[in-house]
Amino acid sequence: MAGRGIFDTERFVTAEAVEVELPAASLPLRMVSGIIDLLVVAVGVLVLVLVTPFELFGRDAALGQAFGIVVVAVVMAGLPITLETLLHGRTVGKLVMGLRTVRDDTGPIGLRHATIRALAGTVELWATLGGLALLVAATNERARRIGDLLAGTYVVRDRVRLRLSEPPAPSPQLAAWARGADLGVLPDALAVAARQFLVRAPGLVPQARE
C-alpha cells in the first residue's frame, strides 16, 4: 500500500468476505485519550496518597518520600499495564474515544507489549509532560510514540461504521449447498476475490468470466 501516514489504514476481512479498513488513530484523538488517562492516573495517585498512613514512617521524612515516589511510579506504570493487558489494548481514555492498541500485524497486544509501552511512557509522557511523545508521534507514521516503536504496536480507531452491500444471491441450483457451506475455512484473500467475482459476474462477458 503506497503512501503511509498518520491516517494510515489496515485491512480486515469480515465473515461476509468483505475487506474493512480500520484506520490508525489520528494524533488529536490520541491526545484526548491520553489526557483522559492522565486524569485517571492522577485520581489513582491522589487516592493512594490520601489512604497511605505516612505517620507510620515517624520522623523519617526521607523514607516517607521514597515510599510516596514508589507508590506514584507503581500507579503510573502499573495501571496502564493492567488495563491494556486485561482490556486487550484499551485504557479508560481509549474506551471513551473508541481506540485500541494493536500489534503491527494487527493482532491483540499482550503483557509484554503493554509493559514496554508503559515503561517508555514514564519517560516520554511523564518526564517530558508528553512533549517527547507528541514530537515523535507528529513525525511518525500511524502517529506512533516511542513506546509504540519499541513494542511494535500502534493505535487504531475501533469504532468504524460498516456498510455492507447485499450479498449476491446464489443460483437456485446452489441454494441447498449455500445454506450449509462453511466459508470460514477459506483464506481471506480467496474469500474476498470470490465475493468480488460473484458480484461482478452478471456484467461480465463470457470470455472474461472464464
**pTM of the entire predicted model:** 0.64
Name the residue among 48, 65, 49 with its Cα closest to residue 57: 65
Residue 78 and residue 118: Cα distance in Å, rounded? 8
pLDDT at res. 119: 93
Do residues 133 and 125 lie in contact, with contact meaning Cβ atoms separated by under 8 Å? yes
Share of the chain above pLDDT 90, in %: 33
User: How, if at all, do strands 99-103 and 19-23 pair?
Assistant: unpaired
Does the CA dihedral 204-205-206-210 come out positive or negative?
A: negative
Question: For the chain, what is the largest distance between any 2 Cα atoms, rounded to a whole number of angstroms?
Answer: 91
**Whether 20 contacts 13, CB under 8 Å:** yes
Helices (H), 52-160: 61-86, 92-97, 111-121, 131-138, 146-151
Question: How many Å apart are CA 13 and CA 7, to the nearest integer?
Answer: 19
Question: Highest mean pLDDT range out of 5-9, 54-58, 95-99?
Answer: 95-99
The pLDDT value recorded for residue 21 is 54
pLDDT beyond 50 at 157: yes
Cα separation, 25 vs 172, in Å, equals: 45
CA atoms within a 13 Å half-sphere pointing along the CA-CB vector of 23 = 14
Whether residue 54 has pLDDT greater than 70: no
Question: Looking at residues 19-41, what average pLDDT do you find?
Answer: 85
CB atoms within 10 A of CB 149: 18
Q: Which residue has the higher pLDDT, 19 or 108?
A: 108
Average pLDDT in the 95-122 region? Answer: 92
